[in-house]
Amino acid sequence: MSAADLMDFSPEIAEARAERKPIVALESTIITHGMPYPRNVETARMVEDAVRAAGAAPATIAVIGGRIRVGLDRNEIESLGQLSGGVVKASRRDLAPVAARHGAAGTTVAATMFIAGLAGIEIFATGGIGGVHRGAEETFDISADLVELSRTRVAVVCAGAKSILDIEKTLEFLETQGVAIVGYRCDEFPAFYARSSGFKLEHRCDGLRDLARMIRLQRDIGPGGLLIANPVPEDHALEEAMIEGRIAEAVAEAKAQGVAKKEATPFLLQRVVELTGGRSLEANIALIKNNAILAAQAAGELARL
């Protein structure tokens, strides 16, 4: 049995595939681990609606009852949201164990990319990719997202790497893995909540048509996907020094409490929300919607190429 044999498409995505309409893949850890209920469900539905409004079909990906679901209905999103934190946070390595026990899981960037590639979906929108964690020289904690970007030919739209990570080491790792990065209307790699990280990018793109050509050529040439860096909208961006201070506090707390590995990212994101009085959550929601709209627009251009 292959992963394709475990894959079910929602009616909306099955129709879009049959008619060769634009499709945007979306991850589900935002529902299961990224935000508290009911904000997680509200955000997931808002993002799907934004994709539809921009002319594409939203394919939220998750594991439900041991089946890989490409496209969820409103009730399934609600059910996953109510289980917030109570299901597996599945990277690519976790798909077989979860499926074997007929379990449920939210899919990370790595798992979503992998499934999108199997489903023939060219573009995927997320908030921020995983990366090299702070202190990785001691823990060796490096997200599988970075390796997946080097081997799966799916374009990923993101607002950079999550600010809780070591962005400089993340970029070095991506370079070593041969991952192509392009800034969409920006010259620096964004830092999730902040529009700039201080790290210059080699490549920039200012138009959807050119972006679609880059995505298609990267898919043809490989070996991995194209990482598209799309900064958080200006009216929701946080000041870099302020957010860095709050993140440092959260990281120190995580270390003191022994929080590590898969639990680290949800813990740190939640603490940063608390330490910023909710401002980081609003920025998170705004950047996810912004990325989904860009991905849908690019998917439309891809369909016209």
Catalytic-role residue among 48, 76, 162, 289: 162
Do residues 128 and 192 make contact, with C-beta atoms less than 8 angstroms apart? Answer: yes
Catalytic-role residue among 27, 48, 78, 122: 27
Active site residue 27: yes
Active site residue 274: no
Please report how many Cα atoms fall inside a 13 Å half-sphere around the Cα of residue 132, on the Cβ side: 17
Q: Extract the tokens encoding 296.
A: 């849908």
Catalytic residues: 27, 162
